[in-house]
Structure 1
């Protein structure tokens, strides 16, 4: 194994889920380096180069950390509304209502993505009601920043249902409140649209239901630095599988490392396959 490869990070994440003594022995056996100093800086650099579902960016923002927010702002997957929220100090973590400080370097060099002047003049609710196609609906939905705006949208939809395009554009926002999605209703393509937009039920569902395993585990390997409050859900979902199928069995871990780069299934399928082969 080579340091900083997808395989190294993926195996390193799973090794956190087994006994510490076993993990140290297995690292020596397969050549996986131990987590060390500079992990935060390395995680920031890796995230910039790693495509992630939109919900992962939201999990990072929930830490309410200006430095992490700056990393999210610069990510290729960040939508205009998200960059606007970061520069305005919108809090996403539970229990925080006051404005967040913005990273000084980001504030000095970043520009806020503009909202079309016509939409600003219309206002949020009227802009959503006027959306008769997906592009203007996305522009209107991007005006929603924070809890109060979501409350305004929910009240407007209860008063008179918003157009379908507006509901769609709002629903695929990862920060759309689940109760509002329920209020919007569902249809045959709803789940598929959410998945396409990268909206996830949570880290546990991501860890067990998405693939390929190497990519998912690489993203989760950043969690201890980027979204520590959320990554535990993924760990608890995978820990029993690691214990039952890999444990302290060095050969099983070696097989897993060999399979990673070409395995197209989910992480549970990878773990069970490696254990069965060994």
Structure 2
């Protein structure tokens, strides 16, 4: 099966939020193809990740939560700025909730672990974090936090005596930093702005509602049932009411949506409302 265009994928995702009869009627009216085969999602992901502004860091975490060696190898290529996630992948650390068994590592990644900080070897995790005096040192120290037990250690150390600011910053922008640990680091406006800039999101709902352009966001969500199935209901529940209210069973509104999709620069909610209003 050939791969659909990105706009076809994007509209197709939204069609999945209405009943099958309506979706079939809209496809007949607009000429949109049916859903792609699942294996097309991995190939599409390779291209989508070139839009570095579009794909927030949390997308990588949602994919890693599958603990799938093949997907891990794909994601690993795009983690140049996160030595911690790279280290976890090549060590076979599981990310899925409740999982403890090591994940098989793709043979191509064996031996590719980032360098271990010398201070970590000498002083351990907490000592390495407490010695941080720059952002580079913060990133290096934070890259050694790999397991849930490590995050517990970080939280306990920060409770005992606050970690240096750069260490807190480097830890907080890790997408796998537990929300409770991140909340302990601070909540002022500058802090939350840094988190947002790093692409750390509470879940797919903020991604679906506030990122742009809509075509890119919706194309990624169209791959979601393969790449991050556990997280998909959050995005679908966020967009479903808008789709039903502004597009619903209106073939004209769906036709306008398909025409606007590729060139619309706003968010998905803005696109949905605009298409409905024009129709």
Q: Residues of 2 paired with 1:85 and 1:161: CA distance?
A: 25
| Aligned length in residues | 273
Q: What is the match of residue 16 of structure 1?
A: 16
Q: 1:133 deviation in Å?
A: 1.0
Partner of 2:28: 28
- Structure 1 residues 249-268: aligned runs within 5 Å: 249-268=250-269
Quote the Cα distance in structure 1 between the aligned partners of 2:171 and 2:183. Answer: 12
Per mean C-alpha deviation after superposition, the further-off stretch among 184-193 and 13-22 is 184-193
Length-normalised TM-score, structure 1: 0.92
Counterpart selection for 1:106 from 87, 105, 108:
108
Structure 1 outlier segments of 4+, above 6 Å: none
- The 8 Å contact of residues 138 and 169 in structure 1, kept in 2 or not, is answered as yes
Write the deviation string for residues 182-213 of structure 1: whole angstroms up to 9, x where unpaired.
Answer: 11122221121111101012111211122221
Q: Is 1:7–1:260's contact at 8 Å kept on the other side of the alignment? A: yes
Is residue 54 from structure 1 mapped to residue 52 from structure 2 by the alignment?
A: no
Tell me the CA shift for residue 67 of structure 1.
2.2
CA contact under 8 A between 2:57 and 2:198: conserved in structure 1?
Answer: yes
SS at match of 1:144: coil
Cα distance between partner residues in 2 of 1:59 and 1:77: 17
What is the root-mean-square deviation in Å for CA atoms of aligned residues?
1.8
Structure 1 CA distance for aligned equivalents of residues 6 and 87 of structure 2: 31
Cα shift at 1:175: 0.8
**TM norm structure 2:** 0.92
Unpaired segments of 5 or more residues in structure 1?
Answer: none
**Does the C-alpha gap of structure 1 residues 185 and 216 become closer, same or farther in structure 2, counting only changes over 3 Å?**
same
> Could you give the per-residue CA deviations for residues 85-115 of structure 1, whole angstroms, max 9, x where no partner exists?
1111111111112222223x4345x612222
How far off is 1:164 after superposition?
0.6
